[in-house]
Amino acid sequence: MGFELDDNASIFWTNVKKEIKAQNTTQEWIAQNSGISFNTFQGWISKGIYPRVNEAVKIASLLNTSVEYLIGGTMSDSMRPVDVICRNLPKIEGHLELIKKAVKKL
């Protein structure tokens, strides 16, 4: 269960949704990989409820960002864009390998 607060929770969820879209992933994937039921995840979004701190940390980690960013929209010095890119390199390399295989089949 999360904590219902004011409209600031909508900023958190707006940033989560923005990152999900930017990273070409889904709410379902984030929920599943953070150990949160998808129904709970969607409920928090629709009701504007913050997740618990440990759940917010898991969500931020899966999105390769910080809770600070999700709450306020600003990156901390520890999450510079270059750090985010470096953390995503394995995922990017995996996508490149899939593309290479698909091109070879053409």
Structural domains of the chain in order of their starting residue, each with its CATH number: 3-76 (1.10.260.40)
pLDDT at 15 over 80: yes
Q: What is the dihedral of CA 10, 16, 17, 23, to 10 degrees?
A: 170
pLDDT in tens, 44-83: 999 989 999 999 999 999 998 888 889 886 655 555 566 6
What secondary structure letter does DSSP report for 3?
E
Predicted local confidence at residue 1, as pLDDT: 47
Q: At what angle do helices 38-47 and 8-22 cross, to 10 degrees?
A: 130
Is the model more confident about 93 or about 85?
93
Mean pLDDT of the chain: 83
In terms of phi and psi (left: phi > 0; alpha: psi -120 to 50; beta: otherwise), the region of 76 is beta
Look up residue 12 and give its two tokens: 């958190």
Rounded distance, CA 99 to CA 9, Å?
Answer: 38
